[in-house]
Amino acid sequence: MIDNSKPILVTGVAGFIGYHVSKNLLLKGFDVVGVDSVNDYYDVHLKNNRVENLLKTSKSFKFQKFDLCDSNQLKKIYSEFGASSIIHLAAQAGVRYSIDHPESYLKNNLEAFLSILETARFYKAEHLTYASTSSVYGANENFPFKETNIADHPIQFYAATKRSNELMAHSYSSMFNLPTSGLRFFTVYGPWGRPDMALFLFTKSILAGEEIEVFNNGNHVRDFTYVDDIAESIVRVHLNSSPVNASWDPKFPDPASSKYPFNIYNIGNSNPVPLMSYIKEIEKNLSKTAKLKFLPLQKGDVHTTIADASKLENFISFKPSTSIEYGVQKFIDWYFKYFRL
């Protein structure tokens, strides 16, 4: 168990998932040192509002604004606040953005992660929990996706950087006995969501009477996972550290565990939903019909994601289960309140 007398350093606190994880920790009584560069990949005002909300939630939240690639500053902050461990959620997000801006992913997803690993090693962090993605499964169509599946065929650079994070983490777990846990998220949605994601984009366009772009001619299937379930899963995994697999067999190696303190977990609802059903749920909550513009499958996209989250459930006695009916309604309620509609 993580020492709850010391603060947990959470990166990406101005981001969607980082905000919810930080709030979950604060409401559980933990001290949180939040780090974020607050870049302009999307609406900076929304990011600043998330940070302001966390500052109002608890005096146990401290915010530090800087670039994680500045490893000296990261080590200084970790030391000054006497942190126990790290939850690393900062990254350059977005599958499609990575097609035209790979250099941003190299810097923010690889260089920054090395800075995190070095800080965790130098200060002997009790646990490093970090965000990966279901996108690492790439060309794999062996459904549902299991952590034991091979994940070495990414079909866009974003996924390649996240898979690289997993391999980098294993090397540090083996060389320095650093407990690491990688979390593969499946299509996260909910209040305070990112403006570049489907739910936010669709809601905004439907309300404005504008067309929404529906890729793969609407034939996508997604394992939509509500953000509160994601946050609770992350916190539970982090507080339990990363166990060694005593039965790990080097002749038949499990890629999601190790003889070192290294693990990978899927975090998904395990209840795949057709994209068109998701759109209908948004329409129902807005009492408006969407204008649909059907388009072919985009480069870098997969048509289906389904998580096998049994490893997660067995480890933390919790499994994401929030329905899209509840989750979409909670997002729409937040959207109207936030934008004062």
Catalytic residues: 158
Residue 242 CA to chain centroid, in angstroms? Answer: 18
**Cβ atoms of 265 and 183 closer than 8 Å:** yes
Distance CA 194, CA 201 (A): 9
CB atoms within 10 A of CB 117: 25
Alpha helices (H) in 28-70, listed in sequence order: 44-57
DSSP state of 297: P
Q: Does residue 154 have a cis peptide bond before it, meaning omega lies within 30 degrees of 0?
A: no
Strand residue runs (E) in 285-333: 291-294
Nearest to 235 by CA among 63, 2, 15, 52: 2
Distance in angstroms between the alpha carbons of the first and the last residue of the chain: 44
**Cβ atoms of 156 and 183 closer than 8 Å:** no
CA atoms within 13 A on the CB side of 109: 26
Which helix (H) or strand (E) covers residue 133, if one does? strand 128-133
CB atoms within 10 A of CB 294: 11
Q: Token pair of 4, please?
A: 């709850």
Residue 191 CA to chain centroid, in angstroms? Answer: 14
Distance CA 258, CA 244 (A): 6
Strands 128-133 and 85-88 come out as: parallel
3-class SS of residue 169? helix
Which helix (H) or strand (E) covers residue 236, if one does? helix 227-239
